[in-house]
Amino acid sequence: MEGATRWYGSTLAVDDVSFQVRPGEIVGFLGPNGAGKSTLLKMISTWLPPTTGRIVVGGHDVVREPLAVRRRLGYLPEHNSLYEVMRVDRFLEFAARIRGLGGSSLRERLDWAVESCGLREVLSKRIHECSKGYRQRIGVAAALVHDPPVIVLDEPTHGLDPVQVVAFRGFLRGLRQGKAILFSSHVLSEVIAISDRILVIRQGRLLADTPVDELERRAGAAGADVEAIVLDIVTTAGSA
């Protein structure tokens, strides 16, 4: 991503943002509500075009090659859109088939998604009968069923209980080999626990792009914790 900018009329939502996520890397995207996180993720996923700048996903430009980007992308939006009246098993099969899966590969990936996301006991239920936590896990399963090399998750632990959050951290780490993973959250401790690098955004501007181990070294030298260091980045930039 180079110089990505997005205007909504006279409102600047994303301001000249540049960064890269490499295969095998988990990058956490952190910022307060309204910072521009979801807008930026929607641009990456081809939901919104950048006003200016360039975004490339898996070697493909999001504006010129949106279909190629979507084939390589697993995306969970902030507001998880599901077909509420469908049974869980039929919805997941539908999601897999529209991704081009069929035959043995279809069954293998469906089995993987169901087991990895812990959905076996709700497969015969309609989605509207499932709890909020299960609906979130259904959305994750649908986003990843085609084994995409690039994964973008917007608030993926929203609606999960504490036990499920811890399990999801391990699940996400298990996906990292060969995949570029970007996820957003406004929960600082969660981002620190999962990520290799942290991106901090406020008022549409990228304030930091820093490895977690570097933040931990800075925190140790200052006799503080990592959360205090990140909060200092946000508050200092906000007052500048």
CA nearest to 30, candidates 214, 240, 194: 194
Q: Please write the tens of the pLDDT for every residue from 60-116.
A: 999 999 999 999 999 998 888 899 999 999 999 999 999 999 999 999 999 999 999
The tokens describing 23, both together, are 């295969």
- The alpha carbon torsion through 73, 77, 81, 86 (nearest 10 deg) reads 50
pLDDT for residue 49 is more than 70: yes
C-beta of residue 75 within 8 angstroms of C-beta of residue 143: yes
Phi-psi region of 126 (alpha: psi -120 to 50; beta: other; left: phi over 0): beta
CA nearest to 44, candidates 154, 121, 122, 139: 154
Where residue 235 falls among pLDDT bands split at 50, 70, 90? confident
Taken in order of first residue, the domains within the chain and their CATH numbers are 2-72+150-239 (3.40.50.300), 83-148 (no CATH)
The mean pLDDT value of the chain amounts to: 91
Sign of the Cα torsion 201, 206, 209, 214 reads: negative
Q: pTM of the full predicted structure? A: 0.89
The per-residue pLDDT for 31 is: 83
Residue type, 171: F
